[in-house]
Structure 1
Protein backbone atom coordinates (compact mmCIF):
# COMPACT_ATOMS: atom_id res chain seq x y z
CA UNK A 1 0.00 0.00 0.00
CA UNK A 2 1.22 3.49 -0.80
CA UNK A 3 -0.20 7.00 -0.98
CA UNK A 4 -1.34 6.43 -4.55
CA UNK A 5 -3.65 3.64 -3.38
CA UNK A 6 -5.10 5.91 -0.71
CA UNK A 7 -5.68 8.81 -3.11
CA UNK A 8 -7.37 6.52 -5.63
CA UNK A 9 -9.61 4.98 -2.98
CA UNK A 10 -10.58 8.37 -1.52
CA UNK A 11 -11.53 9.66 -4.98
CA UNK A 12 -13.78 6.64 -5.62
CA UNK A 13 -15.25 6.73 -2.10
CA UNK A 14 -16.07 10.44 -2.34
CA UNK A 15 -17.50 10.22 -5.85
CA UNK A 16 -19.12 6.78 -5.42
CA UNK A 17 -18.63 6.44 -9.16
CA UNK A 18 -15.60 4.97 -10.92
CA UNK A 19 -16.05 7.06 -14.07
CA UNK A 20 -16.18 10.36 -12.18
CA UNK A 21 -13.30 9.31 -9.93
CA UNK A 22 -11.17 8.40 -12.97
CA UNK A 23 -11.91 11.78 -14.55
CA UNK A 24 -11.02 13.52 -11.29
CA UNK A 25 -7.72 11.64 -11.20
CA UNK A 26 -7.05 12.24 -14.90
CA UNK A 27 -6.72 8.52 -15.64
CA UNK A 28 -8.59 5.72 -17.36
CA UNK A 29 -11.20 3.72 -15.44
CA UNK A 30 -9.77 0.17 -15.87
CA UNK A 31 -6.44 0.81 -14.07
CA UNK A 32 -8.33 2.65 -11.33
CA UNK A 33 -10.64 -0.34 -10.79
CA UNK A 34 -7.64 -2.68 -10.80
CA UNK A 35 -5.82 -0.58 -8.18
CA UNK A 36 -8.83 -0.62 -5.84
CA UNK A 37 -9.07 -4.40 -6.20
CA UNK A 38 -5.35 -4.69 -5.35
CA UNK A 39 -5.88 -2.56 -2.26
CA UNK A 40 -8.81 -4.70 -1.11
CA UNK A 41 -6.80 -7.86 -1.72
CA UNK A 42 -3.92 -6.54 0.36
CA UNK A 43 -6.26 -5.53 3.18
CA UNK A 44 -8.13 -8.81 3.03
CA UNK A 45 -11.64 -7.34 3.00
CA UNK A 46 -13.96 -5.37 0.73
CA UNK A 47 -14.07 -1.60 0.88
CA UNK A 48 -16.76 -1.16 -1.76
CA UNK A 49 -19.93 -2.88 -2.86
CA UNK A 50 -20.30 -2.71 -6.62
CA UNK A 51 -23.50 -3.26 -8.57
CA UNK A 52 -24.41 -2.48 -12.16
CA UNK A 53 -26.09 0.71 -10.99
CA UNK A 54 -24.12 2.05 -8.03
CA UNK A 55 -21.05 1.90 -5.81
CA UNK A 56 -21.42 1.85 -2.03
CA UNK A 57 -18.98 1.82 0.84
CA UNK A 58 -18.91 -1.15 3.16
CA UNK A 59 -18.75 -0.52 6.90
CA UNK A 60 -15.02 -1.20 6.70
CA UNK A 61 -14.79 1.18 3.74
CA UNK A 62 -16.40 3.98 5.75
CA UNK A 63 -13.86 3.53 8.55
CA UNK A 64 -10.97 3.23 6.10
CA UNK A 65 -12.09 6.41 4.29
CA UNK A 66 -11.94 8.48 7.47
CA UNK A 67 -8.40 7.39 8.26
CA UNK A 68 -7.25 7.67 4.64
CA UNK A 69 -8.53 11.25 4.44
CA UNK A 70 -6.69 12.14 7.66
CA UNK A 71 -3.48 10.53 6.40
CA UNK A 72 -3.60 12.38 3.09
CA UNK A 73 -4.41 15.67 4.82
CA UNK A 74 -1.45 15.15 7.16
CA UNK A 75 0.83 14.45 4.19
CA UNK A 76 -0.36 17.61 2.44
CA UNK A 77 0.11 19.61 5.64
CA UNK A 78 3.63 18.25 6.09
CA UNK A 79 4.53 19.19 2.54
CA UNK A 80 3.11 22.68 2.92
CA UNK A 81 4.89 23.19 6.25
CA UNK A 82 8.20 22.02 4.80
CA UNK A 83 7.73 24.32 1.80
CA UNK A 84 7.13 27.30 4.08
CA UNK A 85 10.22 26.43 6.13
CA UNK A 86 12.28 26.13 2.93
CA UNK A 87 10.97 29.53 1.80
CA UNK A 88 11.85 31.14 5.13
CA UNK A 89 8.18 31.71 6.02
CA UNK A 90 8.03 29.41 9.02
CA UNK A 91 10.43 28.90 11.90
CA UNK A 92 11.91 30.69 14.88
CA UNK A 93 14.56 33.40 15.09
CA UNK A 94 16.17 35.13 18.08
CA UNK A 95 17.69 38.54 17.31
CA UNK A 96 20.00 40.53 19.57
CA UNK A 97 20.88 44.22 19.26
CA UNK A 98 23.35 46.62 20.81
CA UNK A 99 21.90 49.60 22.62
CA UNK A 100 21.88 52.18 19.81
CA UNK A 101 20.27 49.67 17.42
CA UNK A 102 17.67 48.78 20.03
CA UNK A 103 16.24 52.28 19.74
CA UNK A 104 16.64 52.76 15.99
CA UNK A 105 16.64 49.60 13.85
CA UNK A 106 14.96 47.09 16.15
CA UNK A 107 11.45 48.65 16.11
CA UNK A 108 11.49 48.82 12.30
CA UNK A 109 12.89 45.30 11.98
CA UNK A 110 10.31 43.85 14.38
CA UNK A 111 7.38 45.46 12.56
CA UNK A 112 8.66 44.51 9.13
CA UNK A 113 9.38 40.89 10.00
CA UNK A 114 6.07 40.35 11.77
CA UNK A 115 4.26 41.89 8.82
CA UNK A 116 6.05 39.89 6.12
CA UNK A 117 6.45 36.64 8.06
CA UNK A 118 3.49 36.30 10.43
CA UNK A 119 4.07 32.55 10.90
CA UNK A 120 7.67 32.99 12.06
CA UNK A 121 8.22 33.18 15.81
CA UNK A 122 10.57 36.08 16.56
CA UNK A 123 12.24 36.94 19.84
CA UNK A 124 14.18 40.18 20.23
CA UNK A 125 16.80 40.91 22.86
CA UNK A 126 17.77 44.55 23.12
CA UNK A 127 20.60 46.31 24.93
CA UNK A 128 23.04 43.41 24.46
CA UNK A 129 26.71 44.28 24.50
CA UNK A 130 28.61 42.88 21.51
CA UNK A 131 30.68 40.31 23.50
CA UNK A 132 27.47 39.04 25.11
CA UNK A 133 25.93 38.59 21.67
CA UNK A 134 29.01 36.69 20.48
CA UNK A 135 28.72 34.32 23.46
CA UNK A 136 24.99 33.82 22.85
CA UNK A 137 25.56 33.07 19.16
CA UNK A 138 28.12 30.41 19.98
CA UNK A 139 25.89 28.89 22.66
CA UNK A 140 22.97 28.77 20.23
CA UNK A 141 20.62 31.00 22.24
CA UNK A 142 20.91 33.76 19.62
CA UNK A 143 20.57 33.40 15.84
CA UNK A 144 21.31 36.92 14.62
CA UNK A 145 23.30 39.63 16.35
CA UNK A 146 23.45 43.30 15.38
CA UNK A 147 26.60 44.69 16.94
CA UNK A 148 29.89 46.54 16.68
CA UNK A 149 32.55 44.42 14.98
CA UNK A 150 33.94 42.15 17.73
CA UNK A 151 37.61 41.36 18.19
CA UNK A 152 37.03 37.61 18.36
CA UNK A 153 35.15 36.41 15.27
CA UNK A 154 35.94 32.67 15.46
CA UNK A 155 32.96 30.60 14.36
CA UNK A 156 31.03 33.65 13.19
CA UNK A 157 30.00 35.07 9.85
CA UNK A 158 29.87 38.88 9.71
CA UNK A 159 28.01 41.10 7.28
CA UNK A 160 28.78 44.82 7.29
CA UNK A 161 25.53 46.77 7.67
CA UNK A 162 26.68 50.39 7.63
CA UNK A 163 29.15 52.92 8.95
CA UNK A 164 27.81 55.22 11.66
CA UNK A 165 29.11 58.65 12.62
CA UNK A 166 30.06 59.25 16.22
CA UNK A 167 28.25 61.91 18.21
CA UNK A 168 28.55 63.35 21.70
CA UNK A 169 25.61 63.19 24.09
CA UNK A 170 25.89 66.34 26.20
CA UNK A 171 23.81 67.63 29.14
CA UNK A 172 21.57 70.40 27.79
CA UNK A 173 22.90 72.97 30.28
CA UNK A 174 26.58 72.21 29.60
CA UNK A 175 28.55 75.02 27.88
CA UNK A 176 29.41 72.66 24.99
CA UNK A 177 25.71 72.08 24.28
CA UNK A 178 25.52 75.44 22.49
CA UNK A 179 27.97 74.31 19.77
CA UNK A 180 26.94 73.03 16.33
CA UNK A 181 29.56 70.29 16.45
CA UNK A 182 32.43 69.20 18.65
CA UNK A 183 35.96 67.92 18.26
CA UNK A 184 37.42 65.21 20.44
CA UNK A 185 39.83 67.65 22.04
CA UNK A 186 36.81 69.56 23.38
CA UNK A 187 36.19 66.54 25.63
CA UNK A 188 39.72 65.98 26.92
CA UNK A 189 39.00 67.39 30.39
CA UNK A 190 35.39 66.32 30.56
CA UNK A 191 34.10 63.49 32.69
CA UNK A 192 32.88 60.70 30.43
CA UNK A 193 30.20 58.08 30.73
CA UNK A 194 31.08 54.89 28.84
CA UNK A 195 29.87 51.34 28.48
CA UNK A 196 31.43 48.63 30.62
CA UNK A 197 35.16 48.33 29.97
CA UNK A 198 37.73 45.57 30.38
CA UNK A 199 36.66 43.91 27.14
CA UNK A 200 32.99 43.74 28.09
CA UNK A 201 31.98 46.35 25.49
CA UNK A 202 33.33 46.99 21.98
CA UNK A 203 32.02 50.55 22.20
CA UNK A 204 34.05 51.24 25.34
CA UNK A 205 37.19 50.06 23.55
CA UNK A 206 36.41 52.29 20.56
CA UNK A 207 36.08 55.36 22.77
CA UNK A 208 39.37 54.70 24.55
CA UNK A 209 41.09 54.08 21.19
CA UNK A 210 39.80 57.39 19.82
CA UNK A 211 41.23 59.33 22.71
CA UNK A 212 44.54 57.45 22.69
CA UNK A 213 45.05 57.92 18.94
CA UNK A 214 44.32 61.64 19.37
CA UNK A 215 46.96 61.85 22.11
CA UNK A 216 44.31 62.45 24.76
CA UNK A 217 43.28 60.68 27.94
CA UNK A 218 39.69 59.64 28.46
CA UNK A 219 38.51 60.70 31.90
CA UNK A 220 35.95 58.01 32.74
CA UNK A 221 33.59 58.93 35.54
CA UNK A 222 30.99 56.18 35.13
CA UNK A 223 30.72 52.81 33.41
CA UNK A 224 27.27 51.44 32.58
CA UNK A 225 25.88 48.31 30.94
CA UNK A 226 23.01 49.79 28.92
CA UNK A 227 22.74 52.67 26.48
CA UNK A 228 19.50 53.85 28.08
CA UNK A 229 21.33 54.17 31.42
CA UNK A 230 24.23 55.95 29.73
CA UNK A 231 21.92 58.59 28.20
CA UNK A 232 20.00 58.93 31.47
CA UNK A 233 23.29 59.66 33.28
CA UNK A 234 24.03 62.35 30.69
CA UNK A 235 20.60 63.88 31.29
CA UNK A 236 21.42 63.92 34.99
CA UNK A 237 24.55 65.99 34.34
CA UNK A 238 26.93 63.20 35.36
CA UNK A 239 29.10 63.51 32.28
CA UNK A 240 29.33 63.37 28.48
CA UNK A 241 29.09 60.24 26.35
CA UNK A 242 30.48 59.40 22.91
CA UNK A 243 27.81 57.41 21.09
CA UNK A 244 26.89 56.23 17.57
CA UNK A 245 24.56 58.62 15.77
CA UNK A 246 21.46 56.33 15.98
CA UNK A 247 21.51 56.72 19.76
CA UNK A 248 19.83 60.08 19.13
CA UNK A 249 16.64 58.07 18.54
CA UNK A 250 16.63 57.73 22.34
CA UNK A 251 15.27 61.23 22.95
CA UNK A 252 15.71 61.85 26.66
CA UNK A 253 14.88 65.33 28.02
CA UNK A 254 18.02 67.13 29.12
CA UNK A 255 20.30 65.60 26.47
CA UNK A 256 21.69 67.32 23.37
CA UNK A 257 23.33 65.25 20.61
CA UNK A 258 26.18 66.88 18.68
CA UNK A 259 28.31 65.42 15.85
CA UNK A 260 32.01 64.81 16.45
CA UNK A 261 33.98 66.19 13.52
CA UNK A 262 37.33 64.46 13.80
CA UNK A 263 36.74 60.83 14.76
CA UNK A 264 36.32 57.70 12.61
CA UNK A 265 32.94 56.14 11.99
CA UNK A 266 31.88 53.00 13.82
CA UNK A 267 30.97 49.89 11.83
CA UNK A 268 27.68 48.13 12.50
CA UNK A 269 27.65 44.44 11.54
CA UNK A 270 25.20 41.55 11.49
CA UNK A 271 26.67 38.38 12.99
CA UNK A 272 25.48 34.79 12.58
CA UNK A 273 26.98 31.41 13.26
CA UNK A 274 29.29 30.40 10.42
CA UNK A 275 27.52 28.02 8.06
CA UNK A 276 24.01 28.86 9.31
CA UNK A 277 21.99 29.29 6.13
CA UNK A 278 18.52 29.00 7.62
CA UNK A 279 15.97 30.41 5.13
CA UNK A 280 14.38 32.52 7.87
CA UNK A 281 17.79 33.90 8.79
CA UNK A 282 18.58 34.72 5.16
CA UNK A 283 15.29 36.63 4.83
CA UNK A 284 15.89 38.50 8.08
CA UNK A 285 19.38 39.51 6.95
CA UNK A 286 17.93 40.84 3.71
CA UNK A 287 15.35 42.94 5.52
CA UNK A 288 17.93 44.18 8.02
CA UNK A 289 20.32 45.24 5.26
CA UNK A 290 17.53 47.11 3.51
CA UNK A 291 16.42 48.90 6.65
CA UNK A 292 19.96 49.82 7.67
CA UNK A 293 20.51 52.08 4.68
CA UNK A 294 23.43 54.48 5.31
CA UNK A 295 22.50 57.37 7.55
CA UNK A 296 22.65 60.64 5.62
CA UNK A 297 25.40 62.95 6.67
Structure 2
Protein backbone atom coordinates (compact mmCIF):
# COMPACT_ATOMS: atom_id res chain seq x y z
CA UNK A 1 0.00 0.00 0.00
CA UNK A 2 1.34 3.43 -0.96
CA UNK A 3 1.72 5.68 2.02
CA UNK A 4 -0.05 9.04 1.68
CA UNK A 5 2.37 11.81 2.65
CA UNK A 6 1.39 13.87 5.69
CA UNK A 7 0.54 17.52 5.07
CA UNK A 8 -0.28 19.74 8.04
CA UNK A 9 -3.38 21.81 7.29
CA UNK A 10 -1.44 25.03 7.89
CA UNK A 11 0.89 24.21 4.97
CA UNK A 12 -1.43 22.39 2.56
CA UNK A 13 -1.63 24.15 -0.79
CA UNK A 14 0.88 26.82 0.24
CA UNK A 15 4.39 28.11 -0.26
CA UNK A 16 6.22 28.41 3.06
CA UNK A 17 9.53 29.11 4.77
CA UNK A 18 10.85 25.75 5.90
CA UNK A 19 12.88 27.01 8.85
CA UNK A 20 9.79 28.63 10.33
CA UNK A 21 7.68 25.50 9.74
CA UNK A 22 10.26 23.36 11.54
CA UNK A 23 10.55 25.89 14.37
CA UNK A 24 6.77 25.79 14.87
CA UNK A 25 6.82 22.00 14.97
CA UNK A 26 4.71 21.60 11.84
CA UNK A 27 7.40 19.55 10.09
CA UNK A 28 10.75 17.96 10.76
CA UNK A 29 13.77 18.41 8.52
CA UNK A 30 13.39 14.80 7.49
CA UNK A 31 9.71 15.32 6.58
CA UNK A 32 10.72 18.02 4.09
CA UNK A 33 12.31 15.29 1.98
CA UNK A 34 8.97 13.51 1.45
CA UNK A 35 6.98 13.61 -1.77
CA UNK A 36 4.52 16.01 -0.12
CA UNK A 37 6.82 18.97 -0.74
CA UNK A 38 8.82 20.57 -3.52
CA UNK A 39 11.76 22.89 -2.94
CA UNK A 40 11.69 26.26 -4.70
CA UNK A 41 14.76 27.85 -3.11
CA UNK A 42 16.96 27.23 -0.11
CA UNK A 43 14.58 27.04 2.87
CA UNK A 44 11.56 27.84 0.66
CA UNK A 45 9.20 24.95 -0.10
CA UNK A 46 5.71 24.41 -1.51
CA UNK A 47 3.01 21.78 -1.49
CA UNK A 48 3.98 19.37 -4.28
CA UNK A 49 0.42 19.49 -5.61
CA UNK A 50 0.78 23.15 -6.49
CA UNK A 51 1.49 24.06 -10.12
CA UNK A 52 4.48 26.35 -9.84
CA UNK A 53 4.78 29.19 -12.35
CA UNK A 54 7.59 31.69 -12.74
CA UNK A 55 5.32 34.24 -11.07
CA UNK A 56 4.96 31.87 -8.09
CA UNK A 57 8.74 31.67 -7.81
CA UNK A 58 9.03 35.46 -7.99
CA UNK A 59 6.52 35.84 -5.17
CA UNK A 60 8.29 33.18 -3.09
CA UNK A 61 11.68 34.84 -3.53
CA UNK A 62 10.35 38.31 -2.71
CA UNK A 63 8.42 37.03 0.32
CA UNK A 64 11.04 34.82 1.95
CA UNK A 65 14.49 35.71 0.61
CA UNK A 66 14.81 39.40 -0.21
CA UNK A 67 16.43 41.79 2.26
CA UNK A 68 15.81 45.53 1.72
CA UNK A 69 17.46 46.80 -1.46
CA UNK A 70 16.26 44.02 -3.79
CA UNK A 71 13.76 44.13 -6.66
CA UNK A 72 12.56 41.66 -9.26
CA UNK A 73 14.00 42.75 -12.60
CA UNK A 74 14.75 41.82 -16.20
CA UNK A 75 12.66 39.10 -17.82
CA UNK A 76 11.05 38.30 -14.48
CA UNK A 77 9.87 41.91 -14.23
CA UNK A 78 8.49 41.68 -17.78
CA UNK A 79 6.33 38.76 -16.65
CA UNK A 80 5.02 40.62 -13.61
CA UNK A 81 4.30 43.74 -15.67
CA UNK A 82 2.03 41.86 -18.07
CA UNK A 83 4.45 40.29 -20.54
CA UNK A 84 5.25 36.63 -21.26
CA UNK A 85 6.45 34.45 -18.39
CA UNK A 86 9.75 32.57 -18.51
CA UNK A 87 9.57 28.85 -17.92
CA UNK A 88 9.02 27.98 -14.23
CA UNK A 89 12.50 26.58 -13.74
CA UNK A 90 14.30 29.63 -15.16
CA UNK A 91 16.09 31.75 -12.56
CA UNK A 92 14.27 34.72 -11.09
CA UNK A 93 16.15 37.88 -12.07
CA UNK A 94 16.89 40.26 -9.21
CA UNK A 95 18.36 43.76 -9.12
CA UNK A 96 20.31 44.30 -5.90
CA UNK A 97 21.72 47.56 -4.62
CA UNK A 98 25.43 47.28 -3.70
CA UNK A 99 24.71 47.97 -0.03
CA UNK A 100 22.31 45.02 0.22
CA UNK A 101 25.08 42.38 -0.02
CA UNK A 102 22.67 39.69 -1.12
CA UNK A 103 23.54 36.44 -2.86
CA UNK A 104 24.47 34.21 -4.49
CA UNK A 105 21.30 32.10 -4.14
CA UNK A 106 20.51 29.05 -6.25
CA UNK A 107 17.53 29.80 -8.49
CA UNK A 108 18.17 33.57 -8.60
CA UNK A 109 20.12 35.52 -11.21
CA UNK A 110 21.47 38.53 -9.33
CA UNK A 111 22.54 41.83 -10.91
CA UNK A 112 24.15 44.46 -8.71
CA UNK A 113 23.41 48.11 -9.49
CA UNK A 114 21.84 51.17 -7.94
CA UNK A 115 18.42 52.49 -8.88
CA UNK A 116 16.80 55.89 -8.72
CA UNK A 117 13.70 57.10 -6.98
CA UNK A 118 10.58 55.85 -8.75
CA UNK A 119 12.38 53.02 -10.55
CA UNK A 120 10.98 50.30 -8.27
CA UNK A 121 7.24 49.69 -7.99
CA UNK A 122 5.10 47.39 -5.87
CA UNK A 123 3.29 44.73 -7.91
CA UNK A 124 1.10 42.38 -5.87
CA UNK A 125 3.23 43.29 -2.87
CA UNK A 126 6.50 42.52 -4.65
CA UNK A 127 9.25 45.08 -5.40
CA UNK A 128 9.56 45.17 -9.20
CA UNK A 129 11.56 47.48 -11.44
CA UNK A 130 9.41 50.01 -13.29
CA UNK A 131 8.77 49.48 -17.03
CA UNK A 132 11.31 52.12 -18.04
CA UNK A 133 14.00 50.78 -15.69
CA UNK A 134 13.19 47.23 -16.81
CA UNK A 135 13.78 48.22 -20.44
CA UNK A 136 17.08 49.87 -19.50
CA UNK A 137 18.22 46.70 -17.76
CA UNK A 138 17.06 44.44 -20.59
CA UNK A 139 19.05 46.49 -23.09
CA UNK A 140 22.14 46.30 -20.89
CA UNK A 141 21.91 42.64 -19.85
CA UNK A 142 20.63 40.86 -22.96
CA UNK A 143 21.78 40.57 -26.54
CA UNK A 144 20.07 42.91 -29.00
CA UNK A 145 17.52 40.41 -30.33
CA UNK A 146 16.34 39.27 -26.90
CA UNK A 147 16.25 42.80 -25.52
CA UNK A 148 14.11 44.06 -28.39
CA UNK A 149 11.76 41.09 -28.10
CA UNK A 150 11.10 41.72 -24.41
CA UNK A 151 10.74 45.49 -24.81
CA UNK A 152 8.29 44.76 -27.65
CA UNK A 153 6.29 42.70 -25.16
CA UNK A 154 6.13 45.55 -22.65
CA UNK A 155 5.05 47.99 -25.35
CA UNK A 156 2.43 45.56 -26.66
CA UNK A 157 0.95 45.03 -23.20
CA UNK A 158 0.81 48.78 -22.58
CA UNK A 159 3.09 48.57 -19.55
CA UNK A 160 5.71 50.67 -21.34
CA UNK A 161 5.15 53.69 -23.58
CA UNK A 162 7.55 54.74 -26.31
CA UNK A 163 7.46 58.43 -25.39
CA UNK A 164 8.34 57.59 -21.78
CA UNK A 165 11.21 55.39 -22.88
CA UNK A 166 12.59 58.11 -25.13
CA UNK A 167 12.34 60.64 -22.30
CA UNK A 168 14.10 58.22 -19.95
CA UNK A 169 16.85 57.71 -22.52
CA UNK A 170 17.34 61.48 -22.81
CA UNK A 171 17.67 61.78 -19.02
CA UNK A 172 20.37 59.13 -18.98
CA UNK A 173 22.22 60.30 -22.08
CA UNK A 174 25.94 59.79 -21.76
CA UNK A 175 25.67 57.08 -19.12
CA UNK A 176 27.01 53.60 -19.63
CA UNK A 177 24.15 51.64 -21.15
CA UNK A 178 22.42 54.56 -22.92
CA UNK A 179 23.78 53.57 -26.31
CA UNK A 180 22.46 50.03 -25.87
CA UNK A 181 18.99 51.29 -25.03
CA UNK A 182 19.07 53.61 -28.05
CA UNK A 183 19.87 50.65 -30.31
CA UNK A 184 16.99 48.68 -28.83
CA UNK A 185 14.48 51.51 -29.15
CA UNK A 186 15.46 51.98 -32.79
CA UNK A 187 14.25 48.43 -33.51
CA UNK A 188 11.24 47.94 -31.22
CA UNK A 189 7.68 47.51 -32.47
CA UNK A 190 4.78 47.26 -30.06
CA UNK A 191 2.67 45.55 -32.70
CA UNK A 192 4.57 42.29 -32.23
CA UNK A 193 2.40 39.67 -30.53
CA UNK A 194 4.98 37.13 -29.41
CA UNK A 195 8.64 36.82 -28.52
CA UNK A 196 9.42 34.50 -31.47
CA UNK A 197 7.77 36.92 -33.89
CA UNK A 198 9.92 39.74 -32.51
CA UNK A 199 13.07 37.64 -32.68
CA UNK A 200 12.37 36.76 -36.31
CA UNK A 201 11.70 40.39 -37.26
CA UNK A 202 14.84 41.73 -35.60
CA UNK A 203 17.07 39.06 -37.07
CA UNK A 204 15.70 39.76 -40.55
CA UNK A 205 16.22 43.52 -40.21
CA UNK A 206 19.69 43.08 -38.74
CA UNK A 207 20.53 40.85 -41.71
CA UNK A 208 19.61 43.65 -44.11
CA UNK A 209 15.96 43.01 -44.93
CA UNK A 210 13.65 46.03 -45.21
CA UNK A 211 11.76 46.71 -42.01
CA UNK A 212 8.37 44.96 -42.14
CA UNK A 213 4.94 46.06 -40.94
CA UNK A 214 3.75 44.02 -37.97
CA UNK A 215 0.24 42.55 -37.80
CA UNK A 216 -0.64 43.93 -41.23
CA UNK A 217 -4.30 43.73 -42.24
CA UNK A 218 -5.03 42.61 -45.79
CA UNK A 219 -8.33 43.77 -47.24
CA UNK A 220 -10.31 43.11 -50.40
CA UNK A 221 -12.64 45.87 -51.60
CA UNK A 222 -12.47 47.42 -48.16
CA UNK A 223 -13.34 44.18 -46.36
CA UNK A 224 -11.06 42.22 -44.02
CA UNK A 225 -9.34 39.18 -45.52
CA UNK A 226 -6.53 38.36 -43.10
CA UNK A 227 -3.94 39.70 -40.73
CA UNK A 228 -0.33 38.57 -41.14
CA UNK A 229 2.55 38.67 -38.66
CA UNK A 230 5.08 40.48 -40.85
CA UNK A 231 4.40 42.16 -44.16
CA UNK A 232 6.05 44.17 -46.89
CA UNK A 233 2.83 45.60 -48.40
CA UNK A 234 4.49 47.35 -51.33
CA UNK A 235 5.77 43.96 -52.49
CA UNK A 236 2.76 41.91 -51.35
CA UNK A 237 5.08 39.61 -49.41
CA UNK A 238 4.27 38.32 -45.92
CA UNK A 239 5.91 36.10 -43.32
CA UNK A 240 3.90 34.06 -40.84
CA UNK A 241 5.46 32.57 -37.71
CA UNK A 242 3.82 29.20 -37.10
CA UNK A 243 3.67 28.64 -33.37
CA UNK A 244 2.08 26.17 -30.97
CA UNK A 245 -1.32 26.40 -32.64
CA UNK A 246 -0.19 23.40 -34.72
CA UNK A 247 -1.53 21.31 -31.82
CA UNK A 248 -5.03 22.72 -32.44
CA UNK A 249 -6.52 21.12 -35.60
CA UNK A 250 -9.29 23.72 -35.81
CA UNK A 251 -6.83 26.60 -35.64
CA UNK A 252 -4.70 24.89 -38.26
CA UNK A 253 -7.76 24.66 -40.53
CA UNK A 254 -8.69 28.32 -40.01
CA UNK A 255 -5.16 29.54 -40.70
CA UNK A 256 -4.77 27.46 -43.83
CA UNK A 257 -8.11 28.77 -45.16
CA UNK A 258 -6.87 32.27 -44.40
CA UNK A 259 -3.67 31.51 -46.31
CA UNK A 260 -5.71 30.50 -49.37
CA UNK A 261 -7.53 33.83 -49.21
CA UNK A 262 -4.24 35.68 -49.06
CA UNK A 263 -2.89 33.76 -52.03
CA UNK A 264 -6.04 34.74 -53.88
CA UNK A 265 -4.95 38.31 -53.34
CA UNK A 266 -1.66 37.48 -55.09
CA UNK A 267 0.43 37.63 -51.96
CA UNK A 268 3.54 35.54 -51.41
CA UNK A 269 3.34 34.06 -47.89
CA UNK A 270 6.41 32.47 -46.30
CA UNK A 271 5.93 30.28 -43.25
CA UNK A 272 8.56 30.04 -40.52
CA UNK A 273 8.51 27.39 -37.80
CA UNK A 274 10.40 27.50 -34.51
CA UNK A 275 12.69 24.73 -35.75
CA UNK A 276 13.56 26.59 -38.94
CA UNK A 277 14.19 29.80 -37.02
CA UNK A 278 16.60 27.92 -34.75
CA UNK A 279 18.31 25.82 -37.42
CA UNK A 280 17.85 27.42 -40.84
CA UNK A 281 17.74 31.19 -40.52
CA UNK A 282 19.97 31.60 -43.60
CA UNK A 283 17.42 29.64 -45.62
CA UNK A 284 14.59 31.85 -44.35
CA UNK A 285 16.54 34.96 -45.26
CA UNK A 286 17.27 33.65 -48.76
CA UNK A 287 13.60 32.85 -49.34
CA UNK A 288 12.54 36.32 -48.21
CA UNK A 289 15.12 38.05 -50.38
CA UNK A 290 14.03 35.98 -53.37
CA UNK A 291 10.37 36.85 -52.77
CA UNK A 292 11.10 40.56 -52.43
CA UNK A 293 13.35 40.77 -55.49
CA UNK A 294 10.78 38.88 -57.58
CA UNK A 295 8.23 41.64 -57.02
CA UNK A 296 8.09 45.19 -58.16
CA UNK A 297 6.72 47.48 -55.48
CA UNK A 298 2.94 47.61 -55.74
CA UNK A 299 0.63 50.35 -54.57
- TM-score bracket, normalised by the shorter chain, equals under 0.3
TM-score normalised to structure 2 length: 0.24
Structure ranking higher on relative contact order (CA contacts 8 Å, 6+ apart): 1
**Over alpha carbons, which structure has the higher Rg?**
1
